[in-house]
Amino acid sequence: MKAYVCSAKIRGMFFNVLLLIMVLIISLSFLEFGWRFFINSGGIKRVWHPELVLVNPPNAQWTIRSTEFTTHMRSNSIGYRGPEMPKEKKRTDELRVLFLGDSFLEAAQVEEQERFSDLVETQLREQLGQSVTVRALGVAKYDPATELLVYRNLGRLFHSDIVIQVLFPENDLTPRDGPYRFRQEGDQLFLEDIWVEPEQPCSWKCQVLSHSRLAFHSYLFLRDMRRRVQSTVSTNEYSMYTNQGHKQYQDEGRFVIFTALVRALRDDVETDGADFYTVLMPGAFEVQNKWKKEWIASTPGVPLDQWQPSQLLDTVKMHLKSSGIATFDLRPILQDADPDNLPLYYQTNAHLNVRGNVLVADAITSLIVNALQ
C-alpha cells in the first residue's frame, strides 16, 4: 500500500513538473509572439557575403519601428539600402558620387529619401544643373577595413567621380589584431594586405539570440544593467571619450591603424581617377550637451575630470591631415545648430534624425560644390 501511495506521489509530481514546463513554454511562446508583432523594432538579420562581409538580405523589404521613428527599408540585389548600382554612365556630363560608411550612412532611422546621401543627390542636381547619381554603400557595424574591401570588390565598379568616406571614430578605431597586415615606416603604418575572414560558426548562444527577439533584448537589458553596476572607465561604453580610454587606444595603435586603412582607400580611389574626401561624423555624446550630462551622471564610476569628449575626433583629424587626407569635420555645423532645443539625434537610438540628416546633407553638398568650382 505504501509503495502504491509513493508511486502515486511520484506520478503526481512528474505531472506537475510536466505541466509547469508546458505552461512556461506556452507563456514564453506568447511573449515571443507579442514581442515580434507589437514591440520588436523590426531589424533584419544580415547575411554573409564572401567579398563584402555582411550585407542585408538582397531584394528584401522590412519595417523598423521604435518609440521615436518608423521607417520602411528596402535592399537592392546586392544587399544595400536603396536603388540598384548602375554601371555605364548614360551621359557624358553625369557626376557620380559614392558614399562609404556604417549605420550613419545606412540611416535606418529615417526614410530612404530623408537620408543625407539621397538629399545630397537632389541638392547637387539643383545647384549644378546637371545629371547626378549618388549611391551609398553603408551597413551597420562597417569599419574602415570593411569599407576598403567594399570599395575594391564593388564600389570601384560604379566609376565614381567623387568618393566620400563617412567616418564615425566612436566605432571605427579597430584593433591591431584584424584581417589585415601592415608594414612600419617610421611612426606610420602602411597596409600590405587585407582579406575577408571566413564566416564564424554560430554558437548555441548566437543561435538563441538570433532566433528569439525576446531573448536578444533580454540579453541587452541584462548586459546594460551589469555595465551600469560595474561602471568604470574601461567598461563604460563611452570610454573612448575619457583620458584613460583615449590613452588605451593610443597604446594599442588604433589611431595609426585607422589612418593606414583610410590612406589605403584614398590611394585606391585616386588611382582610379576619382577625388577622395573623408567626413568625420560626431556622435550624439559630443553634440547633445544635455544628454551628455545625463549619460555622464549615469556612470558614477568615472571621475568627471576623466571626460574629454572632443579629444577623440581631434586626434583622428590630426592623424588624417598628417597623411594628407582631405577631412571635413561636421562638429562645428552640428554644435552650432542649437541641438539641445532642436535635437539632431534620436535619444534612444543615438543616430541622426531627419533634421540632422538635412544639416549633414547641406554641409556635404557645399563641400562638393566648392570642390568642383
Phi, psi dihedral angles at 160 (to 5 degrees): -70, 155
96-372, superfamily in CATH? Answer: SGNH hydrolase (3.40.50.1110)
Q: What are 100-137's pLDDT values in tens digits?
A: 999 999 999 999 999 999 999 999 999 999 999 999 99
Least confident residue range of 23-27, 57-61, 78-82: 23-27
What's the first-to-final CA gap in the chain, in angstroms?
A: 101
pLDDT at 232: 47
Residue 290: how many other CB atoms lie within 10 Å: 12
Report how far residue 167's alpha carbon sits from residue 279's, in angstroms, rounded to the nearest whole number: 6
Q: What are 167-216's pLDDT values in tens digits?
A: 999 999 999 999 999 999 988 899 999 999 887 777 666 666 565 655 65
pLDDT at 163: 98
Average pLDDT over residues 11-23: 66
CA 93 to the chain's CA centroid: 33
pLDDT at 35: 46
pLDDT at 230: 52
Place of cell 557595424: 141
Angle 49-104-216 from CA coordinates, rounded to 5°: 65
For 184-241, give the DSSP string.
EETTEEEEEEE-PPPPPP--HHHHHHHH-HHHHHHHHHHHHHHHHHT--TTTSTTGGG
Question: Where exactly are the structural domains of the chain?
Answer: 1-39, 96-372
pLDDT band (50, 70, 90) for residue 7: low
Q: For the chain, what is the radius of gyration of the CA atoms? A: 24
Spatial neighbors of 23 by CB under 8 A, at least 6 apart, are: none
Could you tell me which of 243, 233, 232 has the C-alpha nearest to residue 314? 243
Spatial neighbors of 339 by CB under 8 A, at least 6 apart, are: 287, 288, 289, 345
276 contacts 156 by C-beta, under 8 angstroms: no
